[in-house]
Amino acid sequence: MWDRLKLRLPIFGKLIHKIVISRFSCTFAALLRSGVPILETLRIVGQSSGNTLVEQAVEQTAAGIERGDNLASALGQHKIFPPLLIVSLGVVVGSIVVCMFLPIFKLNQIVQF
């Protein structure tokens, strides 16, 4: 209840929301770059966000991904995450996938018979 109230404060609510989302984004990106699996990343990020609303939303997002949802739709179900954050996370995850498969495609071009 206290975390919900902090986000609704007239002047500082938006600032606190941006701080929480920034902490979420930076930690999420750093863990993904380090090679931590996405479900484990979400669990770590939820605990380190510093806000119980974000932690609950991230836990529900992780549960949705375990069920087979994609990251954008799972995050989009919660109002705490702004739409530009969802798009940027999609770009980050997509670029990591491309970076993983690009050497395989290059190897295929090199080893042509």
CATH number given to 2-110 = 1.20.81
Q: Could you say which DSSP state residue 112 is in?
A: -
CA–CA distance, 13 with 94 (Å, rounded to integer): 32
User: Does the pLDDT at position 111 exceed 70?
Assistant: yes
**Confidence (pTM):** 0.67
Domain layout of the chain by residue ranges: 2-110
Q: Could you say which DSSP state residue 80 is in?
A: T
Render pLDDT for 68-103 as a digit per residue (tens, 0 to 9): 888 888 888 888 877 786 677 777 778 888 888 888
CA–CA distance, 81 with 90 (Å, rounded to integer): 13
